Amino acid sequence: MQARLQKFFEAIENRSLTLGSWSIALLAIIAVRIGIENALDSLPFRFADQFFYQFSHHLLTFTTIFLVALPIVAWAGRVEIRQAANILLSGFLVIWTPPIVDEIISRGAGLWSFYSFDGLAGLLERYVTFFGDKPDIGITYGVRFEVGIVILLIALYTWTKSRSIIRTSIAGISLYTALFIIGVLPSIITILYWGPSLGFLAVGEHDIARLMLSPAPLFVLNPPDIESVLAIKMSLMYGSLITLVVGLLAFRYFRDPFLAFINNVRFPQIIYHGGLFIIGGGLAAVYSDHAFRLDIFHIAAIFILLIAVCSAWLASVILNDLYDVAIDRMTNTHRPLVTGSIDPENYKTIGMILFGASIFLAAIVSTQAALLLALYQALAFLYSADPLRLKRYPVVATALAAMASLLVLFAGFIVFSADKNIAALPTSISALLFFAYLAIIPIKDFKDILGDRADGILTLPVLLGEDRAKRLIGSFVFIVFVTSPLVLSLRPLFPLGAFFGALGYWILQLSSADHRYFSYRKLPGWFVALAAGYGAFLAFTLANNPLQ
């Protein structure tokens, strides 16, 4: 019997599995689970946003469960993470059972399955009593059946692979603990959030329900129904948690590719894009009624939106890398596709996941922000990819990149604005920012002169040569800085604008391919710092003297 089980598990472990096939399979399993729930509920009419929040909650919940369980299964079977993913993916079909079991036990009435709400003492009691009482709501019969099956399966798998009672017990307890924490996560969040003010032992079931089920608006947008309230709030929590878990798993099990990816993300651009979104939010506070409230869910929403913005940028990086391999072999030899540190197919899949994540995560908070990030991705495709590959044409390429930057800023403005549009943002501000991006963006092209020239990409440094391009771009940068106080009606800041403009011009003229401090590769970081410093002065002044 054991030999047959061993062969059975090994056959599952050794199935072919790629990042793409895993992603599609997991998505399909979760989609079927959602379909079962709605079918058993007689497929009631729901608006699109209700379906979306249900889908987002299920997708993020089960993805979190999968990622948390993955290292436990790998440890239990002493197998590689890919083999553990195959085992877990096969066992994940068990998530179809809870709604079916609940439907049978309730005789068609259905049970509301979500989370267990309880205080700290109650949670400890529920942990040692397999989720405690009240199986007709929260952690229902079906969920308990599901968890029980999962524990039996992990015990069978671990025992078959190790023949160790201790290892089997640790694996079962670890997986049960992980599933229990996820099942009571709203309670844990509430205890940690209100514990310091109310007392950790004083937080009870009603406090948790008040925090998690209260239909408070998120950036002045009201949830469509009470189920969507919980779905939105927990989606924000899971989205934040998944980011951390993915990073830890990638570092632990795919360290070399992960570090190669991290070294390729262009951190000045990460700061730049995140800064654009925050600047947009700041402008909303200056020129319109802002929609931000200082609470855990608004903070989580901002974090999720920043992840979405960064994901959009990273997806565009991968797209650009896929089409720039020839150039990178000459001027960016550290890129993952040049060094071979990341498989090209996996790299494409990561790009597609980041593309989807950017739009999906943004849509949880703001459909307008999601649309703007989708437009950002459209511009990135036109910029980098065949057949148009518009980056080959200097003015068009820079204008596209500047417009993409403006879209991120608009997303921040709309999210934070109570009016949910950009009508309150003065046209002069938008124009100034567009020309500012138009001036600064070509700075990144100096490091790629050799590769761009060989690939026929006509950037300003290729067309004019290094020295002339430095003078032209530097002059444009100076003009943007000195005119900004005039456009913003902040004339007392004219000397400050002239100082930052002159500093930018000076840094650009000193730069070279191998300069100790101002090398071409460091230029984006220097100009992000300049823009941040000058922007801080502008923000402080605008906050006290907004443009009328």
Segments making up each domain of the chain, as ranges = 2-210, 254-425, 440-548
Helix (H/G/I), strand (E/B), else coil: 112:
strand
What does the pLDDT average to over 150-163?
96
- Please choose, from the candidates 66, 2, 4, the residue with its C-alpha nearest in 3D space to the C-alpha of residue 29: 66
Residue 456, pLDDT score: 82
Q: pLDDT tens for residues 376-393?
A: 999 999 999 999 999 888
Query: Given pLDDT bands bounded at 50, 70 and 90, which one contains residue 537?
Result: confident
Query: Given pLDDT bands bounded at 50, 70 and 90, which one contains residue 502?
Result: very high
pLDDT at 370 over 60: yes
- Cα 259 from Cα 194, distance rounded (Å): 38
Instruction: Name the DSSP class of 516.
Output: S
Residue 111 near residue 137, CB atoms below 8 Å: yes
% of the chain beyond a pLDDT of 70? 99
Residue 134, pLDDT score: 84
Most confident of 34-43, 212-221, 534-543: 34-43
Distances (CA, A) of 138 to 55, 103, 132, 314: 19, 14, 11, 38
Average pLDDT, the chain: 92
What does the pLDDT average to over 335-364?
96
Residue 331, pLDDT score: 80
- Ranges 58-62, 141-145, 151-155, 523-527: which has the least confidence: 523-527
Q: Dump the DSSP string for 465-483.
A: -HHHHHHHHHHHHHHHHHH
pLDDT at 419 over 70: yes
Structure token digits, residue 122: 């109650």
Query: Angle formed by the axes of helices 185-198 and 205-213, to 10°?
Result: 110
The fold adopted by the segment(s) 254-425 is Tetracycline Repressor; domain 2 (1.10.357)
- Cα 179 from Cα 468, distance rounded (Å): 62
- Ranges 246-255, 349-358, 520-529: which has the least confidence: 520-529
- Residue 369: count other Cβ atoms within 10 Å of its Cβ: 29
Residue 546, pLDDT score: 56
Residue 459, pLDDT score: 87
pLDDT at 2 over 80: no
pLDDT at 548 over 50: no
Query: Given pLDDT bands bounded at 50, 70 and 90, which one contains residue 295?
Result: very high
pLDDT at 8 over 60: yes
What does the pLDDT average to over 460-472?
91
Residue 320, pLDDT score: 94
pLDDT at 170 over 80: yes
- Ranges 71-75, 177-181, 337-341: which has the least confidence: 337-341
Instruction: Name the DSSP class of 215.
Output: -
User: What's this model's pTM, rounded to 2 decimal places?
Assistant: 0.92
Q: What share of the chain is helix, strand, coil (3-state, %, to 5)?
A: 75, 0, 20
Nearest 10 degrees: CA dihedral of 346, 349, 354, 359?
180
Query: Given pLDDT bands bounded at 50, 70 and 90, which one contains residue 486?
Result: confident
Residue 476, pLDDT score: 92
Q: Dump the DSSP string for 137-158.
A: EES-HHHHHHHHHHHHHHHHHH
Structure token digits, residue 296: 């855990």
More confident residue, 122 or 134: 122
